[in-house]
Amino acid sequence: MKTRLWYLGVVAVLAAMSGVLASSAGAGRLADGATVSGVTPTHAVAGQRVTIYGSSLNGMSTVTFGGVPARSVVVDPGGQWVRAVVPAGVPTGQVPVRLSDGSIVLSASLQIGPGSVPAAANRPPSYTSPGARVKVVVAPQVTGFSPTRGRVGSTVRIMGASLNGALWVMFGGVRAHVTKSSPSAVLALVPKNAHTGKIKVHTSGGTSVSSGIFRVLAPGAGV
C-alpha cells in the first residue's frame, strides 16, 4: 500500500512539473512574440483599409479576413500596427482577422458589411526610423495553370499575380520543384507521389490556392 501511494505521489509531482515547464515555455514565446490590441475601424466593407494595432508586429507578413488573404499589406517598421485592405470575397458578418509571420498566428475580429468600395490606397508610412526599412508584402493570386493534367516530371505553368519569389508549390499536397518564377507566372515540375488536386503557391505574402484541379496521370496514360 505504501509503495502504491509513493508511486502515485511521484506521478503527481512529475505532472505538476510538466505543467510548470509547459507554462513557462508558452510565456517565453508570448514575451518574445507579438500581440494585437485592437482593430480600426471595427466595421468595414471590401476595399476599405483597416489598421490592426499591437506590439512587435513588424514580423507579420500575411493578413487574412475570414480566411481570404489581403493583397495589400503595409507593416509599421516600429511594429505598432499593420494596415491591410479588405479583399473581395470576404463573407459578411463578424469575421476573424488573422496576422501571421509564418509560425505565429494572431487573431482579432471585424464586422464586414455588404457592398464594397474602390480599393483604398495603402502607402508605406512617410517616416522611417534610423536604419529601419518599410516592409510591404502583397499576397499571391493563382488564376489558372496549363496544362490541366500531366505526368510526374512534366512542367506546369501556373498563372496569376504577385507570384515572384515563390517559396514553394504543391500539387495535391506534395511539394514540387520550382524552376522559374515571375510576377505573373511560376514554372514547376509535377513531383513524385503527387496527387490529383488543387495547386498551391506560397510566397512571402502568403499562400494562394487554385480554383481548378490538376489531374496527375499515371505512367503511360494518354493525355
Q: Can you read off the three cell numbers belonging to residue 59?
A: 514580423
Which three cell numbers, joined as nine digits, stand for 46?
471590401
Kindly tell me the number of DSSP H helices and DSSP E strands found in the chain: 1, 18
Q: How far is the C-alpha of 117 from the C-alpha of 26, rounded, in Å?
A: 41
Q: What mean pLDDT, rounded, does the chain reach?
A: 79
Over residues 81-125, the pLDDT tens digits come to: 899 999 999 999 999 999 888 777 888 888 998 888 888 777 765
Q: What is the pLDDT of residue 207?
A: 83
Q: Say which range, 63-77, 114-128, 135-149, has the weakest mean pLDDT.
A: 114-128
Q: How far apart, in Å, do the first and last CA atoms of the chain sit?
A: 73
Query: In the numeric block, which cell numbers belong to residue 182?
Result: 515571375
CA 146 and chain centroid, separation: 25
Q: Which residues contact 24 (CB under 8 A, 6 or more apart)?
A: none
Euclidean distance between CA atoms 145 and 186, whole angstroms: 9
Tell the CATH superfamily of the 35-124 domain. Immunoglobulins (2.60.40.10)
Report the alpha-carbon distance of residue 17 to residue 64 in Å, rounded.
Answer: 38
What are 135's three cell numbers? 516592409
Side-chain-facing half-sphere of 29: CA atoms under 13 Å: 10
Q: What is the pLDDT of residues 3-55, one digit of tens each?
A: 454 444 444 444 444 333 333 333 223 334 678 888 888 888 888 889 998 88
Q: Identify the three-state secondary structure at position 14.
A: helix
CA distance 218 to 17: 53
Residue 115 per-residue DSSP state = E
Pairing, β 68-69 against β 73-75: unpaired
**Highest-confidence range of 13-27, 66-80, 189-203, by mean pLDDT?**
189-203
CA dihedral over 46, 81, 209, 42, signed as positive or negative: negative
Say yes or no: do domains 35-124 and 141-216 share a fold. Answer: yes
Domain boundaries, the chain: 35-124, 141-216
Decide which of 3.40.50.450, 3.40.50.1820, 3.40.630.20, 2.60.40.10 is the CATH code for 141-216: 2.60.40.10
